Amino acid sequence: MEKVVSWIAGSGQEISVKVELITSREINLDGHRSTVKACEINVSAYADGKLVGTGRPQAMDHAVAVSRMGKLGIRQDQHDEIMAAIAECEASDIYAAKVAKLEKNMAEISRDDISRDKIQAAMQIGEDE
């Protein structure tokens, strides 16, 4: 899934922000190419075809720009379009499954941490005397 938000900057540069959901990645295994599953949202900003920023827009305090990506200042209407494209990727089934799996794993880790703390507390009872 890929969305592109484009506009012409006040300087005349053509600006495009590409938001894509990456579901597979090719890796190099000591000279052997292999495709592996992935699930991540990649956000890249370009000015006249040159990369000027990556990652989600970061809030900033400016008279015109409400956020930025690297060197690129982003107005409110552009910011809203970019965030809508990101939200569309996040709403996909594959990304929702990834988030659910991460939340399940974090709950299991938390449960294990609580169990470990209880065991350590029980083991220290006899040491206090």
Q: What is the pLDDT of residue 77?
A: 94
The rounded mean pLDDT for the chain is 90
What mean pLDDT do residues 92-117 have?
88
DSSP one-letter code for 63: S
More confident residue, 111 or 54: 54
Statement: residue 128 has pLDDT above 80: no
Angle at Cα 7 formed by Cα 73 and Cα 60, nearest 5°?
A: 15
Q: Report domain extents, the chain.
A: 2-91, 93-129
Alpha carbons 47 and 71: distance in angstroms, whole number = 10
Inter-residue contact 58 to 28 (CB < 8 Å): no
Percent of the chain clearing pLDDT 70 (strictly above): 96
* pTM metric for this prediction: 0.76
What is the structure's pLDDT at 7? 94
Helix, strand, coil percentages (3-state) for the chain, rounded to 5, are: 40, 40, 20
